[in-house]
Structure 1
Amino acid sequence: MKISVVLPAKNESAAIGQTIAQIQALQLIDEIIVVNDGSTDSTKEVAEHAGAIVVTHPYSKGNGAAIKTGARTATGNIIIFMDADGQHDPNDIPRLLEKIEQGYDLVVGARQRGSQASLGRGVANGLYNGLATYMTEQKVEDLTSGFRAVQADKFREFLYLLPNGFSYPTTSTMAFFRAGYSVTYVPIHAAKRIGKSHIKPLKDGIRFFLIIFKIATLFSPLKMFLPIAVLLFLIATGWYGYTLYSYNRFTNMSALLYTGSIMIFLMGLISEQVTALMYKDNK
């Protein structure tokens, strides 16, 4: 088993050297790949001095793009993805690898209580996990954790699905579930990051809603659209019953609600077929 560690890094010179040294101290890893995502500080130089293989983007393409570059560069049959900012403890790596050896295809480091960066992000991640659990009918403990170990060949199957931004953990986890691969979780504690966070509250708020819809469309869109369609249908029927009893007529509002219900159901049905094609085996 050859093991590669991929560290996406943007302006992480304060933490990257320490992170690499801790990984090397394990004496388990065959290669450490740092994807320097357009850093303007000395991230590249510090990482090279520490002994990592450094691949540099000429400009910042995003965390997901760095992950994809790292996955393409890695030569190991097992890839471990983790943050370069000191949040993830390299000493947890053997516990993730133990699960891989037991036959799992994706092992996610699930952050425990007190590990979230803020109350807002903790609430958001709780909603992500709940929705993903509903969609997959499997217990999802941490959908957005970036600390994970994967079978490299299976992960590369889904590179075309991964966004260039920050939601690669969500996309890859749901893709593994959809493909029927084995997913499990290992409890971890995420420390406070070293250096300045790249998170922006307003941008993250918009991203929250986009991730909600992405979760649905990546696994089973009909499970998201059908309850909304049924709710609209029931409201339309209730309103029709009220207007028929009170005014003895069928109103435009009832027609609009019924039409909306049918349209949303059909959108879900079409999305379901498109999603099935996304996961079609072309090999």
Structure 2
Amino acid sequence: MRINKKGSLIALLLAVCVLAFASLAAAADKAPVLRMATTTSTDDTGLLDYLAPICLKDTGIDVQWVAVGTGKALEFGRNGDVDVVLTHAPSQEDKFEAEGYGVDRRKVMYNDFVLIGPANDPAGVKGKPVIEAIATIAEKQQKLVSRADKSGTHTAELKLLDKAGVKDFDKAAWYVQTGQGMLKTINIAEEQGGYALTDRGTFIKYDAGLDGREGLVIICEGDAELLNKYSVMAVNPEKHPEAKHDLAVKYIEWITSPKVQQDIANFKLEGKQLFFPDADPAK
């Protein structure tokens, strides 16, 4: 009987893949579970799906997460619903830590925020400093579409509105409050021909999915006010003894290690780097 070597090789490779997947699934079934609350940007971009199997392989920890705005993520931490938080709103994180809910805080990575809007730029603010752009959008009553969910992005947006001297915007018709995550908010902004503040990683994800249609474009970028930093913190076991502090610390050490920092740098979409390592090498 003649043996089809090519077919046999393909069958062998498929068998190896199936066995590898089964082995990983079995490992996940037996692995201790770390509960994490994090932001929509880490989930929407695919970063967490990319890191989860690496973490399972490196540490034996099965990370299970809920992706919400930073405010809600920290609320989960306050309530003891999770063991660790990965967020990007320094002012809220400071408060969380000062109140004694978070410990072992470490920097992880950064990217930046960008102001996006229609390509025809109805407010005429493209390329201007972002604070001037925000002030002009408000003055001309062009739509600014906000997550309005106490997320890290929403917190950054509120600071920009304050620096721009914009008052009572939350009652204005031009200020559209979605109460949704970042990708949904971008899509609503596109539908309504409005502007929005977003982290660059989620914008890259959105832009990659346009499939030829004209969508929103970057209007303002590069300002110091637009830096977007992510940190990780364990839930304080003194507040919540049931929290898996040992797993949280192991995860924190893992995600800030040189090896995983490089993994984060290697995570790209259409050749574009979405996040940049920011862990303190001295710790």
Q: State if a TM-score over 0.5 links the two structures.
A: no
| Structure 1 or 2: more helix by fraction | 1
Q: Which has the higher contact order (CA 8 A, sep 6+)?
A: 2
TM-score (norm 2): 0.23
TM-score (norm 1): 0.23
| Structure 1 or 2: more strand by fraction | 2
